[in-house]
Structure 1
């Protein structure tokens, strides 16, 4: 997980922390997560609101998009500039659930109660682009829009106002899915992960676990286990999962990676969005419990 220049990193950590209240000064950095033996400190991006749906990042400008509901039950779709530390509410759209970014144009696709909307960050405008008779559950963008429908089977594509069903997936209820650098589709269905390899006609069972799915800036697919807080990455040379590390506490969900491959996630335990950045301290991950009750614990090394 690459980091930016030291001064930029410290500025982001300080300013993000300031937004949610000043943190006490400590001699040693926090170790909120441990990836590849390196500690990561977390900063609060946004808090005190109810979140729902997918997170999405415009990696060109490093802007995070998300939905939140105020204490008065008013829905907003917001953005947060991770470089310039700026927050704003998107105009003329409240509730959204699915979100995906075209990284080449920076346009953001969002599903509302029905239909799909497109946000243009250059003009700060939102417009409907179709599917107004459908309730979209999840969105991904990889040269075109991929989506699943709420309480319906399958994954579909939407391009030039035409809908096309991916026939190999028509019998699956899809709870989450991503498209990796090889254009393989990984998806969660009935508490199991399946994979539809690019160019094949049948989806195959991949692993019997519930994971949140995410791809990083390189298109590598990651598997995040909310219960144990463990993060895995696919080793493409071996076609198997490799443990990257773990998050120290909470229940991570809706994970995305920013322009520098730093992780951002929604913690469903305390309803906060967190931003993880390396602080160069060494760490280890230990395991407690057995079977489905395994928990991962992060601790700093003394060397």
Structure 2
């Protein structure tokens, strides 16, 4: 990646298409959702955590079809979403308590000063204001799969047709890339924004995408407390650790 070599450190193997990867910085724990085999249960998705420091890991119980994660790092609050609303999760007690939006099917969650969610199957964006959620009117005519507010206040979002930037003022959106299939938008500990897609990982900078990792079939991306990349493919979650030795042997992805 760039002019540096990295070693794949497998964190969790035999996990189906892990997505919505997020790091709880206080504990350096990865929270994510993954697909469940039909023969396993009547659920489609489950949530889980993996502590990168202690290697402790477990499935998170009590959230039907859990598939969404957002974290308020400043106030140490973890929000999880499933087919029956939004829950709050405690990393110490390992208990998920119901929070809000009973009966709503939560597709995705995002936190930046406010909590946002995207519902399913309408793919509409809602924002929490004064302890209540309301549809974001600027996006009422737009279906959204992934939503992100950058530190410079750029608003970018993705749906099945590509990746877009939204501009307030005259409210309009224009395409950043209509060829990729976006699977996650996230940022590192320095606030740099990255896009995980079907054809690799891109860095978003000055309204353009710059490919940093050319790997197909990725499903999720996060950065741990040390700013190391945590990546998932169809069967594994792994950490990319910089190697100071170089390439010893070529490995097939």
Shorter-normalised TM range:
0.7 to 0.9
Decide which structure has greater strand share. Answer: 2
- Deviation, 1:114, is 1.7
TM-score, normalising length: structure 2: 0.84
Query: Does the residue aligned with 1:273 lie in a helix, a strand or coil?
Result: strand
RMSD: 2.6
In 2, are the aligned partners of 1:153 and 1:170 still within 8 Å (CA)? no
The 8 Å contact of residues 19 and 219 in structure 2, kept in 1 or not, is answered as no
1:72 to 25, 35, 40: 40
Pair 1:72–1:209, CA change in 2 (3 A): same
Alignment equivalent of 2:238, drawn from 271, 274, 288: 274
For residue 281 of structure 1, report the CA deviation from its aligned partner: 4.6
Extract unaligned runs of 5+ from structure 1.
Answer: 1-33, 284-297
Spell out the pairing of 1:48-63 with structure 2 (5 A cutoff). 48-51=14-17, 53-63=19-29
The number of aligned residues is 244
CA distance in 2, matches of 1:90, 1:190: 29
Structure 1 residues 228-247: aligned runs within 5 Å: 229=200, 231-236=201-206, 239-247=207-215
Q: Does 1:161 align with 2:127?
A: no
| Larger Rg belongs to | 1
Tell me, yes or no, if the aligned pair for 1:38 and 1:278 is still in contact at 8 Å: yes
Quick one: structure 1 residues 156 and 48, their matched pair in 2 at CA, closer, same or farther if it must change by over 3 Å?
same
CA distance in 2, matches of 1:52, 1:235: 26
Matched residue, 1:84: 54
What is the CA-CA distance between 1:128 and the residue it aligns to?
A: 0.8
Give structure 2 stretches of 5+ with no counterpart.
none
**More moved, 43-52 vs 95-104:** 43-52
- Structure 1 segment 45-194 matched on structure 2, within 5 A: 45-51=11-17, 53-68=19-34, 69=36, 72-73=40-41, 76-93=46-63, 95-194=65-164
Richer in helix (by share)? 1
1:275 is displaced (CA, Å) by: 1.4
Normalised by the length of structure 1, the TM-score is: 0.71
In the alignment, structure 1 residue 226 sits paired with structure 2 residue 226: no
Cα distance between partner residues in 2 of 1:153 and 1:95: 17
Distance change (3 Å), C-alpha of 1:282 and 1:179 = farther
Give per-residue Cα distances to partners, 1:227-281, cap 9 Å, x unaligned: 3x3x221233xx422332334xx5111211112221112202xx21121111135
Tell me if structure 2 keeps the 8 A contact 1:168–1:201: yes
